[in-house]
Structure 1
Amino acid sequence: MLQALERSLNIYINALPGNTYGDYEPISHIVSEPDVPYGQEYVSLLARQGKIDAYKEGKDWLTTKSAVQSYIRTRKRKR
């Protein structure tokens, strides 16, 4: 329920004039950086499962690079 509330608030805040996404970027931009070892499909799956802080706007998932880095540091199974 809290995730739905947060997602709704993010949508309204981003709709304000002059406001951008803040730190949130489309997942496709984040996974294109060399220090992110995951592909777009996997990070999208993490977002859909609620394992990283993310929300969907239109057809795009948005998250922060720090959310992905936090997941990398705290994941239980190491490669």
Structure 2
Amino acid sequence: MNFWRFIFCLLTSFLLSNSIQAQSQAELDSLTYSLNALGNDTHRVNRFLDLGIGYYRTNPFKGLAFSAEALALSK
């Protein structure tokens, strides 16, 4: 009985994590797309920072690239 409960919990957590990741990926894609409409101002720097934080867990190198772009743009 405990084995099946464990399997159920494992599968449920796996399915939920994939759903959350897909939702956050759509949000990141939307933020990336909206960069084209922004000028070189505070809003663009904040958008790069949001993308850097968003990619931190899924793609750390891409997150660092967005954060570095925000730093360069803010100077």
Name the larger-Rg structure. Answer: 2
**If each structure's strand is expressed as a fraction of its own residues, which one has the higher value?**
1
TM-score (norm 2): 0.31
**If each structure's helix is expressed as a fraction of its own residues, which one has the higher value?**
2
- Could you say which structure has the greater relative contact order, defined with CA pairs below 8 angstroms and 6 or more residues apart? 1
TM-score (norm 1): 0.30
